[in-house]
Amino acid sequence: MKTIAVMFAMDAEARPLVDHLALEENPSAFARANGAAPMKCFTGRVTSSSTGEDDAPTVIHVVCAGSCAKHSVCNVGTVGAALSTYETCVSLKPDVIVNAGTAGGFAKRGGKVGDVYLGSTFKNHDRRIPIPGYDAYGVGEYEAHPTPKLAEALGCKRGVVCTGNSLDATETCKKLLDEYQASVKEMEAAAMAHVAHLFGVPFIAVKTITDIVDGPVATQEEFLANLGAAAAALKNVVPKVVDFIAGRDVDDL
């Protein structure tokens, strides 16, 4: 693999990988946006443990959605995700995009705090447009790039990832999350999958569970209580994903 982009919504999710790979901040990554792009990029090179000594190292860009200039919090959600994926595809031209982050899980589908999932399919559960044609557009279903070998190497769960712009879930959201058999609920992956598809860039997502959507504790409380456990799971798994991908061809994942 020549170039990998690993994309996060929140700086705190990205930091352990940036430190682990000793990446340098890359202030010119999104220069074409003339300072308007909120994203941050950290760049370096990795040599996979499975790569021969003669092989060139893989360039890795870790991209975070950055902070909202008006509200001074991370640009979580689909707007920040689409912006950062678009600019990443145009400016950094990755061979593969990996979205990594925290997410909600579902006890009724076997999810537990700290679980790691590779996304199989991405759907939006909060874009409900009951007009013929727009209904399917709203759901915006995209498939992950096939990664059977990576899934086996990680020994992680696989499942449908559903994206919406709220941390909570209304009754209608919950009904759709069940209809779509969601194993993972988060706020970015379907937007990134859509943009990656525009550019024909293979897209995969690895998500660790901070909170149980169908559990007894309110999402925001549980999210904050378990962020450490999920961040530790991310810190453990994302370097493995990078090492695995860096040493292979995109059709051999």
Residues marked active site are found at 13, 211
In the complex, the smallest distance separating the C-beta of residue 193 from ligand SAH, rounded to whole angstroms, is 13
Nearer to ligand SAH, 80 or 94 (CB): 80
Greatest CA separation for the chain: 56
Q: How far is the C-alpha of 63 from the C-alpha of 198, rounded, in Å?
A: 19
Q: Which of 141, 137, 101, 105 shows the shortest CA–CA distance to 123?
A: 141
Decide: is 213 part of the binding site for ligand SAH (CB under 6 A). yes
Asked if 210 and 104 count as a contact pair (C-beta separation under 8 A), the reply is: yes
Q: What is the nearest approach in angstroms of ligand SAH to the Cβ of residue 71?
A: 12
Per rule CB under 6 A, is residue 124 in the interface with ligand SAH?
no
Minimum CB–partner distance for residue 73 and ligand SAH (Å): 7
The one-letter code for the residue type at 24 is E
Cα 80 to Cα 64: distance, rounded to the nearest angstrom: 9
Per-residue binder mask for ligand SAH (CB under 6 A), 57-76, x = binder: -------------------x
Rg (the chain; Cα; Å): 17
223 binds ligand SAH (CB under 6 A): yes
Q: Which stretch binds ligand SAH (CB under 6 A): 83-91, 120-128, 185-193, 236-244?
A: 185-193
Least distance from ligand SAH to the Cβ atom of residue 27, Å: 24
Q: Does 167 help bind ligand SAH (rule: CB under 6 A)? A: yes
Q: CB under 6 A: which stretch of 27-35, 42-50, 53-61, 207-215 binds ligand SAH?
A: 207-215
Which residue number is nearest to ligand SAH in terms of Cβ? 104
Contact between 103 and ligand SAH by CB under 6 A: the answer reads yes
Judged by CB under 6 A, the residue of 121, 123, 186, 237 near ligand SAH is 186
Exactly one of 101, 111, 159, 247 binds ligand SAH (CB under 6 A); that residue is 101
Footprint of ligand SAH (CB under 6 A): 9-10, 76, 101-104, 167, 185-188, 210-211, 213, 219, 223
